[in-house]
Structure formats: structure tokens, C-alpha cells
Amino acid sequence: MIEQELIGDFRMKWERIREAMLKEGADGCLLNIGINLYYTTGSMYNGYFYLPAEGEPWFFVKRPNGLSGEHVVYLRKPEQLPELFAANGLKMPEKLMLEADELTYSDYMRLRAIFQPRETGNATAMLRLLRRVKTPHEIEMTRLCAQRHAAAYAEIAECFRSGMTDLQFQYEIERRMRQHGSLGLFRAFGTNMDIFMGSILAGANAEAPSPFDFALGGAGADASCPLGANGTPLTDGTAILVDMAGNFSPYMTDMSRVFAVGKLPDEAYRAHDVALEIQAAVEEAARPGASCAELYNIAYNRAEKAGLGGNFMGTKQQAKFVGHGVGLQINELPVLTPRSKEVLEAGMVFALEPKFVIPATGAVGIENTFLVTETGVEKLTIFPETIHQL
């Protein structure tokens, strides 16, 4: 089931899950959501992954009918799980971890009725905490993604033609991203994160509030997709914030850069410089043990001091975070937000995105993905950070 050269990486993940289960007093964890199956097995199958708090994992597969290996068992429906547990000498769990924040109510209740555990725990919350710290293979995949992401960004300027709209510009960037190996699928956690490949914000559209939990908004191309580019003409004096997410490997990177058509107002260049200063200040303070709330405050206070508090992370609607974990999903933990209780740990990967919205002009600022090292942070998304003239 698992590729042989990666078995050590997966054993490390399983061991972390077992430790977390023991702390919770749980004796089994059953996963069904695709991204969690991929995290724990390297495959996205239709079925279940079961890890006892003490013992080896089991892979219960409905489809596809090609997976094989030790502890791989086929089934038609979850109601067979108790008999399959019995047949394989697996103890039914008394406290079972289930994906409470991802499974639908109906699927959760179905599994609970099948297992009838004394108690259930929240496997989603547990996994989201564990997934913050990446394994060596995950870090390698993230680095690969960052390199491809930067290579695609190097072609953005070539995509521009005078007279284009933001949407037309985006279509060309999307194609270049795909040619550089973008998997296309943009994975986010939660039901309130609808997006297609990324976001481009230009001109007055940068002020448009959106319903989603992304850093900035944008009206979007249609009322059914209310985020990002909306057909704004890219005329002289427009700042274009390109925040096309990097899913060039299953482990994503997040990176934003600003492109300018003609000359922008001085305020835009100044705000961009402030964003770069904020990045430098947070980068300087970020290391294992650093408080995520404190990192947010460093950013916010500098924005305030520069007289740009009203433009920081939006105008009409302002996001209350300046960074977030990145991994298999774009919005992982930790979140750099004033109410966070989290601290950085070595092996975490997070995006830092101080941005300012300049009414009528667009959005400026920066976003990069960082790896937390033993002593500080390492920037993974390397690409020139000044405003790129088109």
C-alpha cells in the first residue's frame, strides 16, 4: 500500500497520531476524508483508514480495486466493518476518533451507529494540530512546489497584453501554471472557502468584500463565485495583486506578487514598502517558540504606525490574520491572528501575507511561504519582491 522509500515518513505520522490518541484516551482512529487518507497512506481511495492506539494500521478499501498489500481489506459498505474487525482480530474501539469537522452529520452518525463506541473524539481537530509540523518528505514536496511556483511566476509578466481584463490575464497565468505542473485542484479546509486556482485583484475590485475566509476579497466573475477577478480592465495606474496558489505538488505553497500597469500613486509604492518591512520584522521574530499572536501584533502595529491601519488586509472588510499554515490545504494551522494561543515549532510551514488595499488602485504587499527551522525561518518562495512593472 505504501511506497517502500516513504514508509519511514508514514510511520512517523502514525506514531504521532498514536501518541495524540493516547493523550485523548482514545483507542482507535477511523478516517474517511480523502485528504486525511492521503496524509496517512499516500493514496486517495474510497474507504477507511483505521489506526489502533496500539498496533499497525488497516486499510479498508471500496475503490479503486487495485490497491494491495498487508492489512488491505476490501469492503462494499461501512456496515461490514465490525465483522471485518472480528475476522482480522481487531478490537472494537471504546473511544473512537472520527472526523467531526469534515464528515457530514449523516456519515458521522452512520459510523457511530456501526461502531457504537462508548465515546467519540474529534479526529479532524487532532489531525489539524499534527499536520502543522511537516515530515521530511512533506518538506521536500513543499520545496519542490515552491520552486515550480517561482518558475511559473517568472512567466507572469509575459502573460500581460495591453487592454486585457484581470480575468483574461488570469486565464493566461493559469495556463502557465498548469504547464509548470500545477495540479489544478485548490484544496482548502472548511465549507467556506470557494476558490478556483487563486485570486487576482486589480483596481477598485480589491476593496470588494467577499464571504470567504481568504485574506482579501474581490467580487469574482459571477454571483456564484464571489471572489477575486471580476473583469476589471487593466488600465494605467492599476496595481494587480497576483495570489495564484501553488499546488505544484500535493504540498502547496502560497505566494503573492504585485504587478503594475503604468505608474501607480505614490501611496501604493509606500504601502508596498511598509509590507516588505513588516515581512522583514516578522521574519526576524519568527522562530520556534514565537507566539503567533505576537507575530500578528508586530505586523499590525507597524501598519498602524505607518498610518495604514485602515488599509491593512482590506478596507471595507478587513481580515484579522496576517499568515496561516500551508500544506495539503491552503488554510492549515497555525494562524497568525491576535487571538491565537499557538507558538511556532520547527517543521511548521506557514504563509506570511502583509497586504494593503489602496482604494481605486488595487492591492499591494507581499506573500511568501516559510519553513520554521531550528533557529528561525527559511523563505521557500524565492522571487523578486518589488512591484513588477508590466
In whole angstroms, give the CA distance from residue 257 to residue 245: 11
CB of 377 to its own copies, least distance (A): 26
Among 4, 66, 77, 162, binds its own copies (CB under 8 A): 66
Examine residue 217 and tell whether it contacts its own copies (CB under 8 A).
yes
Q: What are the residue ranges of helices labelled H in 306-376?
A: none
Min separation Cβ 386 and its own copies, Å: 29
Q: Please give the order of strands across the beta sheet that includes 72-74.
A: 72-74, 58-63, 46-52, 28-31, 95-98, 119-122
Q: Which of 116, 179, 386, 389 binds its own copies (CB under 8 A)?
A: 179
Instruction: Please report whether residue 101 would count as binding its own copies according to CB under 8 A.
Output: yes
Query: Which C-beta is closer to its own copies: that of 33 or that of 348?
Result: 33
Please select the residue that binds its own copies; options are 103, 126, 278, 357, rule is CB under 8 A.
Answer: 103
322-361: contacts with its own copies (CB under 8 A): 328
Nearest to 127 by CA among 109, 107, 102, 93: 102
100 binds its own copies (CB under 8 A): yes
Interface stretch with its own copies, choices 11-19, 85-93, 182-190, 303-311 (CB under 8 A): 182-190
Asked if 64 and 45 touch (Cβ cutoff 8 Å), the reply is: yes
User: From the CB of 209, what's the least distance to its own copies, in Å?
Assistant: 4
Beta strands in 247-331 (DSSP E): 257-261, 323-325
Let me know how long the chain is: 390
CA distance 337 to 293: 5
User: CA dist 55 to 28, 29, 52, 380, Å?
Assistant: 10, 12, 6, 37
For residue 286, give the C-alpha cell.
Answer: 519568527
Measured from the CB atom, the residue of 94 and 172 that comes closer to its own copies is: 172
Contact criterion met (CB below 8 Å) for 131 and 101: no
Size of the site for its own copies (CB under 8 A): 63
98 binds its own copies (CB under 8 A): yes
Among 1, 221, 268, 363, the residue binding its own copies under the rule CB under 8 A is 221
Identify residues 108-167 at the interface with its own copies (CB under 8 A).
108-109, 122, 124, 167
In this structure, is the dihedral angle defined by the CA atoms of residues 303, 305, 307 and 310, taken in order, positive or negative?
positive
Cell numbers found for residue 231:
473583469
Q: Write down the least CB distance from residue 328 to its own copies, Å.
A: 8
Q: For its own copies, which is the closer residue by CB, 112 or 270?
A: 112
Distance from chain centroid for Cα 25: 29
Binding site for its own copies (CB under 8 A): 32-34, 38, 42-47, 62-66, 98, 100-109, 122, 124, 167-168, 170-172, 174-175, 178-179, 183-185, 191-192, 194-197, 208-212, 217, 221-226, 249-250, 316-317, 328
